[in-house]
Structure 1
Amino acid sequence: MAAYLLGVVLFFLGIAVTIALHEWGHYITARAFGMKVRRFFIGFGPTVLAKQRGETVYGLKAIPVGGFCDIAGMTAQDDIDPADLSRAMYKKPWWQRIVVLSGGVIMNVIVGFLVLYAVAVSSGIPNPDVDTTATVDTVQCVPETQLSETELSSCTGLGPVADAGIEHGDKILAVNGEEMANFTEVRDTILTLPGETATLTIERDEMLFDAPIQVAAVTRLAADGTEITVGAVGMSSLPPTDIYKKYGPVEGVGATARFTGDMIEATWEGLKSFPAKIPGVVASIFGAERDVESPMSVVGASQIGGEFVERSMWDMFFMMLASLNFFLALFNLVPLPPLDGGHIAVVLYEKVRDLFRKMRGKPAGGPADYTKLMPLTVAVAAVLMTIGGLVIIADVVNPIRLFG
């Protein structure tokens, strides 16, 4: 229990640091371009600590998750001291504004990369070059029927695979001329061929040959308990080796970059499916089974972090923290206010608008009027707060458990 609680606290602190670094990305880029940063706070709620250094007030709020970087003149509607007008953000070139608005996103990507790099050189990360070719482990006879969820009928003989001369260690490259990426694809293809002859392309000792196999037609139980007829050939898979690989300091850079790209791509796919998973989160509050891939809040993520530390799975702990950084980066790029992506969209709108005005011989149109975006901003903020509240409730009453 002590290890679990330690993991919960450490992951919570990791989230707090992640958000702080996101805001620091805005801070350092704003300062680099001569913009005035009036306040830099970590957390939200009542102020616990505040101290002014130079022109910036630095502070800590009561709840150390979240934060903000108050840049003078972020919009033309902001109240600003006339003496600071030349340093107002909206007065700066469009590309500088985009760099500052993207500073948090860039920082999250950098942090995620550095965390993964540390894992790569210390304990290892998933090997992007792992050989997933379907490899035969055992061959056996094929039971004709499935008696229950965990029991099959008895069988005799060698089985279709053994009858075809296929042995332990053989690699299956194709079925009926169709290339197979892994054993799962081989299995799913065989399932659709009951009673037919399938030709497996086999690699053995760097030699290729075709092995015709008479696929057995067997009865199995579907998810709903009904009997279905599928194909089976009697073999099991040999798991890939070197699934995880530890890298040296130099080669780890390239490997981490590739893995970072894979994680960002997976995060993007997850973000696209995010809205469709909200109904499941709501249902889980009222007792429905919680999908392990459903969205999690700070509470849920910290609980998973606790489970990893409890089992000394520090590599998974840090990889999840890296994944969180990538999620925050992509989520903040969504082109809706009040997210960073919404502000970037406004800057790009101003640039495109002024380009067309110039083509018509007109002067630039000036800064966008953010008051017109206020209804959208309030609506988006309300939706995000509602979803966040629902996910937190789900994480409390029906949390995701990776280990039962």
Structure 2
Amino acid sequence: MYLQKPWKRLVVLFAGPAQNFILGFVLIYVLAVSWGLPILNPDPTPAKVAEVTCVPSSTTVSTKAPPQAAPCKGTGPAAAQGLRAGDTIVEVNGQSISDYGQVADRIGKTSEPVAVTVDRAGQILNFTVVPQATTIITKTSEGTKSEQAHKIGVGFTPPPNVTHYNAASAIPGTFVFTGDLFKQTWDALLSMPSKVSGLWTAVTGGERALDTPVSAYGASVIGGKAVQNDAWYVFVLLLISINFFLGVFNLVPLLPLDGGHMAIVGYEKGRNTVRRWFGRTAAGPVDYMKLMPLTYAVVIVLGAFMVLTLTADIVNPIPVF
């Protein structure tokens, strides 16, 4: 093959990643038409209070059903202090709030009184609210876990996290989503070295972060659980993510990946072009044997990373369901 023209060699080398990208693109279109596409980069949603409620003694969260709160009566801490539906929470304890999810983050772990600043039709009002304890019961296929949190009894209307399409509108939507996914995949690839410490923490008994990489075994387990729970939407998204990651990963310009071979083709073409400018004949192909130490180093590093992710997936898998 090394005797073929550079463009022919590049076509052959790019065939593998191209297959991943084409399959991923088709699956994105199928997902868009069937279920809709997730919003990868949602805009911050102001913390506008939709309702003020009592605080239940417990809330059960499951992947198979919406959250179920225990019955409760009376007014909650927020309502008792004068907060109303329609208020927009702009600060908690002096820290600005740009998204409704930040309210739970700022209040959930404290039982101390919190200073809540709201915007009520343009008027800035300040309240002091004492959070009330509640139990969050999380049910997954791995078992049931309970933890204590604190709430003030305000509810928000979450924004839609999926965009729905018809067969025609799904075409441009697929292209836009593909571009966003390429960027996120590339960012995830660049962040892989920083995930080693998180994987090691998971292997040694610490908590497994949801954004840590998974091995082929871990991905197959997640896919199998998605099918068991009739979460075909998650299953298709997983296939899309795997295809795009494999495609982008194989284009990294390191041997023995396809990108490494493509880089050598580019080097040979550029080198011979320069030689031709000076009236010299084309040089021979690159001696791969001289690159073997670098190739072995890449294989060892990638192999160690794969063993680490596999171990983490076995001893401390990501609890998706």
Q: Look up the match of 1:240.
A: 159
1:267 and 2:180 matched = no
Overall identity of the aligned pairs, in %: 40
In the TM superposition, 1:381-392 aligns within 5 A as: 381-392=299-310
Match of 2:205, as an amino acid? G
Q: Relative to structure 1, is the Cα distance of residues 197 and 292 closer, same or farther in structure 2, using a 3 angstrom cutoff?
A: closer
Whether the 8 Å CA contact 1:140–1:158 is kept in 2: the answer is no
Alignment TM-score, normalising by the size of structure 2: 0.71
How big is each residue's C-alpha offset from its partner over 1:58-107, in whole Å with a ceiling of 9 and x where there is no partner? Answer: xxxxxxxxxxxxxxx3x4xxxxxxxxxxxxxx331x23322221121111
Select which of 87, 90, 100 maps to 1:183.
100
How big is each residue's C-alpha offset from its partner over 1:357-388, in whole Å with a ceiling of 9 and x where there is no partner? Answer: 34444333332221111111122112222222
1:330 and 2:260 matched = no
Whether the 8 Å CA contact 1:300–1:392 is kept in 2: the answer is yes
Match of 2:267, as an amino acid? Y
Other structure's SS at 1:353 match: helix
Distance in 1 between residues matched to 2:302 and 2:168, nearest whole Å: 41
Distance in 1 between residues matched to 2:14 and 2:186, nearest whole Å: 17
Match of 1:292, as an amino acid? L
Q: Please report how far the alpha carbon of residue 300 of structure 1 lies from its aligned counterpart in structure 2 after TM superposition.
A: 0.8
Whether the 8 Å CA contact 1:290–1:400 is kept in 2: the answer is yes
Q: Look up the match of 2:51.
A: 138
Distance in 1 between residues matched to 2:201 and 2:42, nearest whole Å: 38
Distance in 2 between residues matched to 1:190 and 1:332, nearest whole Å: 44
Distance in 2 between residues matched to 1:180 and 1:328, nearest whole Å: 38
Which structure has more relative contact order (CA 8 Å, sep 6+)? It is 2
Distance in 1 between residues matched to 2:299 and 2:78, nearest whole Å: 65
Whether the 8 Å CA contact 1:160–1:213 is kept in 2: the answer is no
Distance in 2 between residues matched to 1:333 and 1:215, nearest whole Å: 55
1:304 and 2:217 matched = no
Gaps (5+ residues) in structure 1? 1-72, 76-89, 143-153, 203-208, 222-231
Distance in 2 between residues matched to 1:197 and 1:387, nearest whole Å: 46
Q: Look up the match of 1:116.
A: 28
Distance in 2 between residues matched to 1:188 and 1:281, nearest whole Å: 24
In the TM superposition, 1:155-304 aligns within 5 A as: 155=77, 159=81, 161-162=83-84, 167-168=85-86, 182-184=99-101, 200=119, 210-214=122-126, 216=128, 235-241=154-160, 243-304=161-222
Q: Relative to structure 1, is the Cα distance of residues 400 and 377 closer, same or farther in structure 2, using a 3 angstrom cutoff?
A: same
Alignment TM-score, normalising by the size of structure 1: 0.58
Whether the 8 Å CA contact 1:97–1:347 is kept in 2: the answer is yes
Higher Cα Rg, which structure: 1
Q: Relative to structure 1, is the Cα distance of residues 117 and 199 closer, same or farther in structure 2, using a 3 angstrom cutoff?
A: same
Match of 1:240, as an amino acid? P
Q: Relative to structure 1, is the Cα distance of residues 317 and 360 closer, same or farther in structure 2, using a 3 angstrom cutoff?
A: same
Distance in 2 between residues matched to 1:275 and 1:195, nearest whole Å: 39
Q: Please report how far the alpha carbon of residue 336 of structure 1 lies from its aligned counterpart in structure 2 after TM superposition.
A: 0.6
Whether the 8 Å CA contact 2:27–2:236 is kept in 1: the answer is yes
Distance in 2 between residues matched to 1:254 and 1:324, nearest whole Å: 22
Whether the 8 Å CA contact 1:141–1:158 is kept in 2: the answer is no
Distance in 2 between residues matched to 1:131 and 1:292, nearest whole Å: 22
Whether the 8 Å CA contact 1:160–1:214 is kept in 2: the answer is no
Q: Please report how far the alpha carbon of residue 116 of structure 1 lies from its aligned counterpart in structure 2 after TM superposition.
A: 1.7
Distance in 1 between residues matched to 2:318 and 2:272, nearest whole Å: 49
Q: Please report how far the alpha carbon of residue 161 of structure 1 lies from its aligned counterpart in structure 2 after TM superposition.
A: 4.6
Match of 1:126, as an amino acid? P
Other structure's SS at 1:366 match: coil
Match of 2:156, as an amino acid? S
Select which of 271, 286, 302 maps to 1:368.
286
Q: Look up the match of 1:396.
A: 314
Other structure's SS at 2:122 match: strand
Distance in 2 between residues matched to 1:285 and 1:130, nearest whole Å: 32
Distance in 1 between residues matched to 2:40 and 2:190, nearest whole Å: 24
Q: Relative to structure 1, is the Cα distance of residues 159 and 260 closer, same or farther in structure 2, using a 3 angstrom cutoff?
A: farther
Distance in 2 between residues matched to 1:197 and 1:155, nearest whole Å: 12
How big is each residue's C-alpha offset from its partner over 1:110-137, in whole Å with a ceiling of 9 and x where there is no partner? Answer: 1111112112212222257977532431
Q: Please report how far the alpha carbon of residue 255 of structure 1 lies from its aligned counterpart in structure 2 after TM superposition.
A: 1.3
Q: Look up the match of 2:262.
A: 344
Q: Relative to structure 1, is the Cα distance of residues 186 and 362 closer, same or farther in structure 2, using a 3 angstrom cutoff?
A: farther
Other structure's SS at 1:136 match: strand
Whether the 8 Å CA contact 2:31–2:37 is kept in 1: the answer is yes
Q: Look up the match of 1:34.
A: none
